């Protein structure tokens, strides 16, 4: 069951916004009260959420519906003055990868779904910064919210400068979930099943636990990830701390959008098929051309592009996908098909999230057999890795990314996740190397 936790059953909502001269996103995040959230996407405002005016959680296979119902209930009684669209109040959060996620380490505080309606939201647009103060239930008094807006504005204006961005914390120990022999055996077993016609594709992942030399500064890492991966979706999800444990932070910079919905316009990405970066522009271009012409990668990619188009079709009056191209990131290059669709009726973004997750870029085909293979093969809990993370607004619009190139940090330990699509022609050694390459996105920000 979904639960909408406020201090009272009454969910009346008040939200007020004001333009502010806010210090940097790092300074605001550094001083933010828990639980903290960050969302930053290409062509969207960057948003820092502080505290929780309401929290929505759900478990099990109906978690998407439960969150949608709770979101609709929350926003149904809103008294909102946002001033600008970007500053409107939103719910931020995400879902576990599997419907029956066990919440094993390091995911103890991450249920099947968890969304936060922040008490304070700071939004950075191209046109300046906005402060939004939200209240739900007994706190939702217009006078009290307006007073809090004044206080928060003063607090934010007087925050100290964040100073220079700290470098990586350093890595002093590593533990892999998957030994090389076990990996080879798993990939070979998957390839055998694919050749026998039992499976078409399965995405197998690994986890890497690292000991940090000093505790992680999440604001600094997010800042550096933003510099290195401007075309990616950056996120931070911090649940309330568990008993006797340091705060867990799930964060990343993912190149993959699961879906965005605005009006009846849907945008999504088919992203699958990977190669490295070259030492020179010419080598980069050579690798990109090789990727575009590589039969195994094109097959792996087209399974995703085709499935995404098919899954959107029942909702859409039209689905458009141009020819596949290459998305070049700081550490890797991917085959990419941007897909757009026009809905035939109004939909909530979570209906599309539910229809699309998990795409064969992170699950496989046929979906149920691939998920079963993932559960039976991977010796760790995926938790929220490769799952939808993003935001929802009162209109039911939103953007969700696929939480790749991600890690959970807790105190001086961080767990990184990365996976690869296994198809008929997969070679275990090459797939191993691809996992290591995908770890680089976050390892480069952790290692000295």
Catalytic residues: 201, 256
By the 8 A CB rule, do 148 and 133 touch? yes
| Nearest distance in Å: CB 34, ligand ISJ | 28
Stretch that binds ligand ISJ, among 50-58, 189-197, 269-277, 312-320 (CB under 6 A): 269-277
In this complex, which beta carbon is closest to ligand ISJ, that of residue 85 or of residue 231?
231
420 is an interface residue for ligand ISJ by CB under 6 A: yes
| Nearest distance in Å: CB 84, ligand ISJ | 33
Q: Could you give the CA distance from residue 184 to residue 203 in angstroms, rounded to a whole number?
A: 14
- CA-CA-CA-CA torsion sign (187, 190, 196, 197): negative
Binders of ligand ISJ among residues 9 to 68 (CB under 6 A) are: none
- Counting other chains too, the contacts that 309-314 makes at CB distance below 8 Å and 24 or more residues apart are 309/339, 311/355, 311/356, 311/359, 312/266, 312/268, 312/339, 312/341, 312/352, 312/355, 312/356, 314/355
Provide the token pair at 409.
Answer: 């940090």
354 is an interface residue for ligand ISJ by CB under 6 A: no
* 410 Cβ contact partners less than 8 Å away, ≥ 6 residues apart: 106, 245, 246, 247, 248, 249
Q: Site size for ligand ISJ, by CB under 6 A?
A: 18
A 10 A CB-CB count for 433 gives 13
234 is an interface residue for ligand ISJ by CB under 6 A: no
| Nearest distance in Å: CB 272, ligand ISJ | 5
Residue 260: strand pairing partners: 267, 399
Using CB under 6 A, pick the residue from 48, 70, 87, 203 that binds ligand ISJ: 203
Using CB under 6 A, pick the residue from 256, 354, 381, 393 that binds ligand ISJ: 256
307 is an interface residue for ligand ISJ by CB under 6 A: no
Q: Could you give the CA distance from residue 274 to residue 431 in angstroms, rounded to a whole number?
A: 10
| Nearest distance in Å: CB 187, ligand ISJ | 12
In this complex, which beta carbon is closest to ligand ISJ, that of residue 35 or of residue 360?
360
Count CA atoms within 13 Å of residue 35 on its CB side: 25
By the 8 A CB rule, do 166 and 152 touch? no
334 is an interface residue for ligand ISJ by CB under 6 A: yes
382 is an interface residue for ligand ISJ by CB under 6 A: no
361 is an interface residue for ligand ISJ by CB under 6 A: yes
In this complex, which beta carbon is closest to ligand ISJ, that of residue 272 or of residue 352?
272
| Nearest distance in Å: CB 205, ligand ISJ | 6
419 is an interface residue for ligand ISJ by CB under 6 A: yes
Using CB under 6 A, pick the residue from 88, 224, 405, 410 that binds ligand ISJ: 405
418 is an interface residue for ligand ISJ by CB under 6 A: yes
Using CB under 6 A, pick the residue from 29, 54, 258, 404 that binds ligand ISJ: 404
By the 8 A CB rule, do 355 and 258 touch? no
| Nearest distance in Å: CB 404, ligand ISJ | 4
| Nearest distance in Å: CB 12, ligand ISJ | 41
416 is an interface residue for ligand ISJ by CB under 6 A: no
In this complex, which beta carbon is closest to ligand ISJ, that of residue 131 or of residue 207?
207
In this complex, which beta carbon is closest to ligand ISJ, that of residue 232 or of residue 341?
232
Nearest-10 crossing angle of helices 367-377, 180-195: 160
By the 8 A CB rule, do 286 and 314 touch? no
Using CB under 6 A, pick the residue from 413, 438, 440, 446 that binds ligand ISJ: 438
273 is an interface residue for ligand ISJ by CB under 6 A: yes
By the 8 A CB rule, do 363 and 387 touch? no
In this complex, which beta carbon is closest to ligand ISJ, that of residue 101 or of residue 274?
274
In this complex, which beta carbon is closest to ligand ISJ, that of residue 352 or of residue 418?
418
357 is an interface residue for ligand ISJ by CB under 6 A: no
Structure-token match 């859409």, residue found: 316
Stretch that binds ligand ISJ, among 39-47, 210-218, 305-313, 417-425 (CB under 6 A): 417-425
By the 8 A CB rule, do 232 and 329 touch? yes
Stretch that binds ligand ISJ, among 23-31, 62-70, 193-201, 268-276 (CB under 6 A): 268-276
421 is an interface residue for ligand ISJ by CB under 6 A: yes
Binding site for ligand ISJ (CB under 6 A): 203, 205, 256, 271-274, 334, 361-362, 386, 404-405, 418-421, 438
């Amino acid at each position: 069951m979904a639960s909408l936790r406020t201090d009272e059953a009454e969910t009346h909502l008040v939200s007020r916004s004001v333009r502010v001269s806010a210090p940097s996103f790092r300074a605001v995040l550094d001083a933010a009260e828990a639980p903290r959230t960050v969302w930053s996407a290409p062509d969207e405002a960057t948003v820092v959420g502080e505290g929780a005016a309401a929290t929505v959680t759900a478990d099990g296979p109906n978690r998407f519906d439960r969150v949608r119902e709770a979101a609709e209930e929350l926003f149904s009684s809103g008294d909102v003055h946002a001033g600008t669209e970007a500053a409107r109040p939103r719910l931020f959060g995400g879902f576990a990868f599997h419907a029956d996620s066990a919440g094993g380490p390091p995911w103890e505080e991450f249920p099947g779904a968890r969304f936060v309606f922040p008490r304070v939201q700071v939004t950075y647009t191209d046109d300046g910064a906005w402060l939004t103060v939200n209240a739900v239930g007994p706190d939702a008094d217009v006078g009290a919210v307006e007073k809090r807006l004044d206080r928060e504005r003063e607090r934010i204006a007087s925050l100290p400068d964040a100073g220079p961005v700290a470098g990586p914390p350093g890595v002093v120990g590593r533990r892999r979930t998957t030994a090389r022999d076990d990996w080879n055996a798993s990939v070979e077993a998957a390839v055998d099943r694919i050749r026998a016609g039992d499976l078409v594709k399965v995405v197998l992942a690994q986890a890497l636990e690292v000991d940090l030399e000093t505790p992680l500064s999440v604001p600094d890492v997010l800042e550096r990830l933003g510099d290195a991966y401007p075309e990616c979706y950056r996120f931070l999800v911090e649940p309330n701390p568990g008993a006797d444990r340091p705060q867990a932070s799930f964060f990343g910079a993912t190149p993959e959008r699961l879906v965005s919905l605005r009006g009846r316009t849907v945008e999504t990405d088919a992203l699958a098929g990977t190669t490295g970066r070259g030492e020179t522009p010419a080598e980069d271009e050579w690798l990109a051309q090789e990727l575009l012409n590589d039969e195994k990668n094109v097959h792996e990619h087209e399974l995703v592009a085709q499935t995404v188009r098919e899954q959107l079709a029942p909702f859409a009056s039209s689905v458009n996908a141009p020819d596949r191209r290459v998305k070049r990131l700081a550490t890797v290059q991917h085959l990419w098909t941007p897909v757009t669709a026009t809905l035939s009726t109004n939909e909530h973004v979570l209906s599309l999230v539910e229809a699309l997750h998990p795409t064969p870029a992170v699950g496989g085909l046929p979906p149920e057999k691939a998920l079963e293979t993932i559960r039976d093969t991977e010796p760790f809990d995926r938790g929220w890795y490769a799952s939808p993370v993003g935001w929802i607004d009162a209109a039911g619009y939103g953007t969700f990314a696929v939480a790749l190139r991600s890690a959970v940090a807790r105190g001086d330990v961080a767990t990184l996740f990365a996976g690869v699509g296994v198809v008929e022609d997969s070679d275990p050694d090459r797939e191993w190397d691809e996992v290591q390459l995908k770890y680089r996105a976050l390892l480069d920000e952790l290692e000295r």
